[in-house]
A and B are shown apart, each in its own frame.
Chain A
Amino acid sequence: MRHPFGKGASMKPVWAITTAIALLIAIGVVSSTIRAQQDDTAVARQKRDQLRAFYTAPPVIPHEAYANDPAECAYCHSDVRETPHGTTLITPHIEFHSCAQCHVRAASELGSPTIQSANRFQGLETPNDGHRWSEISPPTVPHRTALREGCLTCHAANSPYEHLRCPHPERSQCYQCHVAGGSEFEVTFAAR
């Protein structure tokens, strides 16, 4: 069994035992924190999923909005703000100015739709948390980064998604430790 602190360490036994015990306690604390977060995460993820037809679909706008003018959207969504509708999220793609191209209202002042037929579409499910090699390893990025290059929009220290708040926002090179966990597109060029 390899000694975690290097080969043939000549550490005093008391320090070794204390360290071992501290390590065990630390693991316990980290595990239970992760477990508590996972409960909040599940709730938060559900709320988030309801706004999307499938994982990675553009969310619908759950509130009234004058969607013609992007300046109206940016008024709230260029920063984390407290509004009557809740805490806003910064858009992860401020460089796109035609917001209404992808984001439509969840409901309309025109009322309920004329066609009432149901739809059996089942969208791609949101993946679980980023995968960690060990419980204290940096998690992989469990989602596509296309159109989400601004990590801090969701992971900032004051993010409205509490469970996603990054504990070290002062570190700017996210991709140094957090790599993509899932595959990007592997395109099929052949007939089925």
Chain B
Amino acid sequence: MNQTQSRREFIRDSAVAAAMAALSAGPRAIAAEIPMPDRLTWSKAPCRFCGTGCGVMVGVQEGKVVAVQGDPEAPVNKGLLCVKGYHAGAALYGEDRLTTPLIRKNGSLQKASWDEAIEAIADAIMADPATFGIYGSGQWTIPEGYVCMKFLKGGMSSNHIDPNARLCMASAVTGFISTFGVDEPSGCYDDLDECDTIITWGNNWAEMHPVLFSRFIDRKIAKEKNGRSNMQYIDMATRWTRSSEFADHYIPFVPQTDLAIANCICHQLIKRGKYDKDFVEKHVRFKTNDGADVDLEGYRAFLEDYSPEAVSELSGVSIGHLELLASIFADPDRKVVSLWCMGMNQHTRGTWINNLVYNVHLLSGKIGKPGSTPFSLTGQPSACGTCREVGTLAHGLPGGRVVTNPDHRADCEKIWNTKTGAISETPGYHTMAMFKAFNEGALKGMWVQVTNPAQTIPNLNENMNNAANGFLVVSDVYPTATTEIADIVLPSAMWVEKNGVYGNSERRTHQWFRAVDPPGDARDDVWQVLAVARRMYEKGFEGMRDKDGNFLLAIRDQDGNEIEAWKWDLFREFNVDRALFTEYRQLTLKKHKDVAPYDVLAKERGLRWPVVQNATGDWVETKRRFVGGEDPYVEPGRAIQFYGAAAGDSRAIIWARPYEAPPEVPDEEYPFWLCTGRVLEHWHSGTMTGRIPQLRNAMPKAYVEMHPADASAINAKPGDMIRIVSRRGTITLPLYNGRAKPERGAVFVPFFDETKLINRVTLDEYCPISKEPDYKKCAIRLEKVQA
């Protein structure tokens, strides 16, 4: 203070100082502590649920997942998720989470140690290795599927491995392979952004691939609000769903007549001369149903039966609608994406209908162009990445190979360093055959991982009524219908409790790191297989020795030193995923399914294969396969090249597939169609989503949907109990009309409810080519249960 201050100045300065003090005592304290969430870290992962493969951010605080957000950097979803994705973190914390190994003793499951469980499994396998199978999953990570392949096909010379993807994508696979010679789509999600028309073929994507649906529909509605839109959404369906609400045209058809409708479109295109002659001449060849070569004229003759008049009669679709569909494909300026999933794949002629939709796009040249492509949507998060690409099928080997091909076997034997001839050339049991064999005792042991067949196999009463007699090992995270009949239950780490890699519908391989620890004594599925394999090796099982006498499933670090990964502590310290994926990657190159190196994927929100390193060392993904300028494997100068063609002529095949009626149709005794499927809130058998309060409360139990006129006819109103009976089983369900609406003479039941096993009622007939059963069609009768 200045000594020359006057008294007034002093008072003034003091008052001001007091005011300042009042102000400064506050802000100085606040400024020091900007409130931030404590110790919250975020890491990236693909969502746990559907085949869309959204990128999520997982928020972890004090060792627990506390939030999940859409990843704004993820090209798939750009920051948006669906209700399941947002709540995926809660799936880890149901209170009945499995945390200890369980072994059945004296009829009930008792707590056991890991050593005991591993020992028991190794002993059971070694007692009769040829009758042991593995039933895996499209929710397996890539390393999980790969290690099982090496274990069973390399180590046990057995091909009895098949995934639940057999029940969901097999028809898509056989469709791809018969049409293009290789599996998986040419197009990608970018085509959803560039098209003007989308046609869904029996697919309720508003509930099943919600983020893809809104990606398209929000763009369409925004454009319409501007008043200048030529965009169209056409929903071809067997029932009115949430997707239909947004459609410009809802086109209901009699189940199975999709086969005829697709042929009808082609019939009209050729009749009117409105197909892409140039494209067909350059890139297509024709075959009869028996596989004989035929020319365009022969194909045209085949299509004579599929006139609009004839197909309208068969399918119930109006001639006007059939002509509308053809006119869309006839318009060379229209950019059309066809989308499908279970409606076409879970089909007794699933392979054929996949071929037929490709026919429409090939004939009209609407493939391999931005916004024009037939796009097979994948249901599970890694049916592509794991089952299809790693080849975890009874006939498969990694990288698009098959066990029946000696060169393919040799490739894998080389990478796995097995003895020559270790891999068997005889395909093993496909899923339905596997469960039949297990039920009858021909297959004595089975290891089920990441799936719940005792709820999801069709015609359960016949296919799993004796399953409790076999030796069943189940790796899962919660008690399920399958753990209930298991002999050994292994508590498993789930999703971000372990490292992982998934591959989605658009060929995007997406890696994640472990973010939290698994609970209790739960351990990674990869570790479980390594531990069993090691025990077998120690007990002298010859197959677990490679060509040099070393442990076949040895995990080595980058210097070649072996990590004793069968020991849990050491497994956790080392990134076993990286070692397995790096080995697997070598096998992806042969058929141009190159995946990126692990360390590259670790920094990306997934990359679409083939991923190839360019001249400047960057890893570049492929948006559209077979397209010149985008796919590095297309020969220079070619606009499009179907280089996977089996005949080596780079042509896709248009197959003359006929309409064939389903094996069981409504008749006098069983006058209704039964269709089954999912709903938005629940994933598959509801083991995870059923334990998330927000999802469970929104969709608490299974129900049956009926057309209002059919309900009135039996005097039933919502809430009334309806008994449903098929030739195979019975179920009673409440009538509910709050979601979708079937056509007359048809009902729908979701399969997520563990107390309402609709698969006791469903039919297990399957496509003879893909072996995939048809969950969408069988015949039932129904009656109202009198109170």
Contacts and interface: CB of A to CB of B under 8 A. Distances in A.
A185 interface: yes
Given A131-B34, A182-B37, A188-B41, A102 B83 contact: yes
B125 interface: no
Question: Considering residues A117, A125, A135, which has the most beta carbons from chain B within 10 angstroms of its beta carbon?
Answer: A117
Chain A binding surface SS class: loop
B86 A102 contact: yes
Given A13-B11, A131-B30, A190 B16 contact: no
B35 A57 contact: no
Contact of B20 (A1, A117, A124): A1
Nearest to A190: B513
Interface in B505-540: 513-515
B755 interface: yes
A189 B736 contact: no
A131 B37 CA distance: 13
Contacts of B681: 104
Interface string B278-319: 000000000000000000000000000000000000000000
A42 to B, nearest CB: 15
Interface stretch (A79-87, A93-101, A152-160, A166-174): A93-101
Contacts of B196: none
Given A119-B692, A188-B42, A189-B603, A106 B698 contact: yes
B67 interface: yes
B30 A133 contact: yes
A23 B738 CA distance: 60
A133 B27 contact: yes
B699 A120 contact: no
Given A124-B40, A127-B37, A108 B218 contact: no
Nearest to A128: B35
Contacts of B12: 11, 13, 16-17
Interface string A161-183: 00000000000000000000111
Contacts of B30: 131-134
B127 interface: no
Interface string A60-90: 1000000011000000000000000000000
Contact of B214 (A60, A97, A120, A181): A97
Contacts, number: 237
Interface in B69-106: 69-73, 79-83, 86-87, 89-90, 92-96
Contact of B16 (A16, A54, A96, A135): A16
A25 B20 CA distance: 13
A53 interface: yes
A21 B15 contact: yes
A113 B513 contact: no
A102 B15 contact: no
Given A104-B681, A104-B699, A146-B69, A20 B18 contact: yes
Nearest to B242: A68
Interface string B15-39: 1111110110011001100111100
Contacts of B211: 101
Contacts of A106: 694, 697-698
Contacts of A135: 26-27
A148 to B, nearest CB: 12
Nearest to A116: B696
B57 A4 contact: no
A102 B602 contact: no
B690 A113 contact: yes
B62 to A, nearest CB: 9
B690 to A, nearest CB: 4
Nearest to B702: A114
Contacts of A125: 37
B660 interface: no
A147 B77 CA distance: 13
B638 interface: no
B83 A109 contact: no
Given A124-B66, A188-B42, A119 B16 contact: no
Contacts of B154: none
A191 B499 contact: yes
B754 interface: yes
B686 A115 contact: yes
A57 to B, nearest CB: 5
Given A190-B513, A191-B575, A119 B95 contact: yes
A110 B11 contact: no
A20 B15 contact: yes
A128 B67 CA distance: 17
Contacts of A105: 697-698
A7 interface: no
B67 to A, nearest CB: 4
B604 to A, nearest CB: 10
A54 B12 CA distance: 52
A117 B19 CA distance: 58
Interface of B: 8-9, 11-13, 15-20, 22-23, 26-27, 30-31, 34-37, 40-44, 57, 59, 61, 64-67, 69-73, 79-83, 86-87, 89-90, 92-96, 206, 210-211, 213-214, 217-218, 221-222, 242, 245-246, 499, 513-515, 575, 602-603, 680-681, 686, 690-703, 718-719, 734, 736, 738-739, 753-756
Given A20-B18, A115-B691, 18 more contacts: A13-B12, A16-B15, A20-B15, A53-B86, A56-B67, A60-B698, A69-B245, A98-B214, A98-B218, A102-B81, A104-B681, A124-B40, A124-B67, A181-B34, A183-B36, A185-B71, A187-B42, A188-B43
5 contacts: A4-B19, A106-B697, A113-B700, A119-B94, A146-B70
Q: Sorted from nearest, which 10 A-B pairs have the closest CB atoms?
A: A104-B698, A113-B700, A121-B90, A20-B15, A134-B27, A124-B67, A101-B210, A121-B93, A124-B66, A98-B214
